[in-house]
Amino acid sequence: MTADFLPGRMQATPLTLRMIFDRMRTIHGDGRVIGHDGTFTYAEAGERILRMARALVDDLGVCPGDRVASFGFNTARHFELYYAVPLVGAVLHTVNVRLFEDQIAYIVNHAADRVMFVDDELIDAVAQVAPSFETVERYVRLAPGDRTGDLPGLLDGDELVAAADPLTDLPDIDENAAFGLCYTSGTTGMPKGVLSSHRGMVLHTFGFCMAGHLGLLETDVVFPVVPLFHAFGWGLTYAAPFVGAELVLHGSDSTPEHLGGLIDQHGVTVAAGVPTIWKQLLPLLDNGTVKGSTLRQVAVGGSASPRALIEAYENRDIPYLQIWGMTETGPAACASRPRRRHAGLDREAILDVKEKTGTIFSGLEARITDPEGVPLPWDGQTVGELEVRGPWIASSYYGDEGAEKFNDGWLRTGDVAWMEPDGYFRIVDRAKDLVKSGGEWISSVELEGEILAHPDVADAAVIGLPHPKWDERPVAVIVPADPGAPPDLASIHTFLADRVAKWWLPDQVVVVDEIPKTSVGKLDKKLLRAQLEHVRLG
């Protein structure tokens, strides 16, 4: 090929978060971020963000590459940090406020955070652990308030913004530079840090907004019930403004009454959160306290949704979309949206589809492998560990810990799945949570889903406990719908008889008032096993 036929050169526009920021404040400047701490148009928020960017540099001495921590809930001020910090080349570290104090101290020191922004209502909590912080130099109140606590030199963020001139000469930033740092929930040891690049989050935003994935529109009102400190709020703080959709932020109040009220008050069309949230909202939808009439979609992730919950929303004409991802997947990576081949299926068959995990997002790849990392066939039956890779998938942990999680460019998710020939897959369990009985695997996730359909069960978890003959057997831990009339083992067996294989039936039912959850709302099976280590089977 001669030079005359070489393709033309394309403009090398860096993929940084400034691209999203500029579009938000200009093209979509009339959109709004609606928070309990204030409502701002995107144009107004853009002005405040540029003022905060100036304050970060001039007042707080933040330099490119510095880590700036946020310790807060879903607020408009927290939203502004999502832009101000990366725009000056620094790294936003969203601290999970629900971690234990020793974990918080560990990740703040591991990240070497220099500045920490704190919600007013969390100042006392931070003051308790602050003496353990080794690198934090300045504390800033994130939202309006008057608490002082025992934080040295506490500054007021609103005062900094009001006094600062907008930083109009933003620095040029390499698209491969880090914009954010988020730590895992630490269910198997201390949390691990995932450092994400500008380029990765921009590409994640492109992918997340696609019609076949989350499918956001400018006319949407998006409600991230998922905490902004959990996996970057699933990326919704970037995805919604990018397309011009409005954002509703609920602060720290996650009660069903408050969430339902915001949905109706602001005409929310797309809401996102863990299954527990949507289960708690159902009684309010049933009794008419919450209408939910504007919802065109609820996006649900964090853990697998039981079929009964999916069906309950579909019966109310509220489409239920399971999405899957991890902190390491940047965060969203898959959606269970029916494909072309599913057209014409009856209602029950469509529920079967929606109960699966779905198809990996465009731009990413997925496969299943055996314990040696060898790829397995996509035949809808063979089970292996799910691995993913792509431009917004982590390739290592911050500090190069956990190298065993990465396999020649692929992230080993720790999830066990099977894949159909066209790539539609279903995660059957976490590898560590499978019940290994008599050489066969029992999916705790699937068994939990069936038990949750029992009318007398409000919540359920399944764990494997040692058995002298079968190695392990499943034990069902349940919260009864009526504390005075809990279902017994016989009732559970009768209900499950035509739903699961006979050898899947739990050996014991343990009734509790509440099932422990992790800081991000997942079942805390590590704690459950510790609580039930006294139980003897066989």
Is residue 538 assigned to a domain?
no
pLDDT confidence of residue 534: 84
Question: Considering 436, 440, 494, 533, which one is annotated as catalytic?
Answer: 436
If you average pLDDT over residues 318-345, what whole number do you get? Answer: 95
Q: Cα–Cα–Cα angle for 85, 92, 222, nearest 5°?
A: 85
Plot region of 434 (φ>0 → left; ψ -120 to 50 → alpha; else → beta): beta
Is residue 213 assigned to a domain?
no
Tell me the pLDDT band of 122, cut-offs 50, 70 and 90.
very high
**Is the domain of 302 the same as that of 419?**
yes
Residue 307 has pLDDT above 60, yes or no: yes
Residue 64 has pLDDT above 80, yes or no: yes
**Pair of tokens at residue 76:** 């408009």
Question: Considering 80, 175, 246, 328, which one is annotated as catalytic?
Answer: 328
**Is the domain of 409 the same as that of 457?**
no
Cβ atoms within 10 Å of 428's Cβ, excluding its own: 22
Nearest to 330 by CA among 354, 357, 364, 293: 364
If you average pLDDT over residues 173-192, what whole number do you get? Answer: 87
Q: How far, in Å, CA of 56 to CA of 51, rounded?
A: 9
Question: Considering 16, 75, 94, 184, which one is annotated as catalytic?
Answer: 184
Q: How far, in Å, CA of 16 to CA of 22, rounded?
A: 11
Single-letter amino acid code for the residue at 411: L
Domain that holds residue 64: 17-201
Is residue 286 assigned to a domain?
yes
Is residue 332 assigned to a domain?
yes
Domain with 522 in it: what CATH number? 3.30.300.30
Query: For residue 82, what are the CA distances in angstroms to 98, 185, 317?
Result: 20, 20, 34
**Is the domain of 322 the same as that of 383?**
yes
Tell me the pLDDT band of 188, cut-offs 50, 70 and 90.
low
Domain with 49 in it: what CATH number? 3.40.50.12780
Tell me the pLDDT band of 186, cut-offs 50, 70 and 90.
low
Residue 517 has pLDDT above 90, yes or no: no
If you average pLDDT over residues 89-109, what whole number do you get? Answer: 95
pLDDT tens digits, one per residue of 252-306: 999 999 999 999 999 999 999 999 899 999 999 999 999 999 999 999 998 889 8
Count of domains for the chain: 3
Q: How far, in Å, CA of 335 to CA of 356, rounded?
A: 9
Question: Considering 39, 44, 441, 522, which one is annotated as catalytic?
Answer: 441
**Is the domain of 418 the same as that of 517?**
no
Q: How far, in Å, CA of 293 to CA of 304, rounded?
A: 25
Name the domain boundary from 386, 415, 430: 430
pLDDT confidence of residue 526: 84
pLDDT confidence of residue 530: 86
Average confidence score pLDDT of the chain: 92
H helices of 134-178, in order, are: 157-163
Is residue 235 assigned to a domain?
no
**Is the domain of 426 the same as that of 446?**
no
Q: Which residue has the tokens 């009102």?
A: 221
Catalytic: 441?
yes
Q: What percent of the chain has pLDDT over 90?
A: 77
pLDDT tens digits, one per residue of 527-538: 888 888 888 887
**Would you list the DSSP string of 26-56?**
TTTTT-EEEETTEEEEHHHHHHHHHHHHHHH
- pTM value > 0.85: yes
Catalytic: 184?
yes
Beta strands (DSSP E) in 154-229 are: 155-156, 178-183, 193-197, 221-224
Catalytic: 218?
no
Name the domain boundary from 408, 430, 452: 430
pLDDT confidence of residue 1: 45
pLDDT confidence of residue 445: 87
Omega of the bond leading into 331 within 30 degrees of 0 (cis)? yes
Contact 302, 521 (CB under 8 A): yes
Nearest to 217 by CA among 238, 242, 196, 237: 242
Beta strands (DSSP E) in 352-491 are: 359-360, 365-369, 383-389, 406-407, 410-419, 425-430, 435-437, 440-442, 457-467, 471-480
Backbone angles phi, psi at 33, to 5 degrees: -110, 120
**Is the domain of 414 the same as that of 444?**
no
**Is the domain of 136 the same as that of 27?**
yes
Catalytic: 328?
yes
Residue 3 has pLDDT above 60, yes or no: no
Cβ atoms within 10 Å of 401's Cβ, excluding its own: 14
Residue 520 has pLDDT above 80, yes or no: no
Q: How far, in Å, CA of 357 to CA of 443, rounded?
A: 14
**Is the domain of 303 the same as that of 333?**
yes
Q: Which residues, listed in sequence order, are joined to residue 369 by a DSSP beta bridge?
A: 375, 385
Name the domain boundary from 409, 430, 451: 430
Is residue 76 assigned to a domain?
yes
**Would you list the DSSP string of 382-401?**
-EEEEEEESTTS-SS-TTS-
Backbone angles phi, psi at 330, to 5 degrees: 85, 15
**Is the domain of 386 the same as that of 261?**
yes
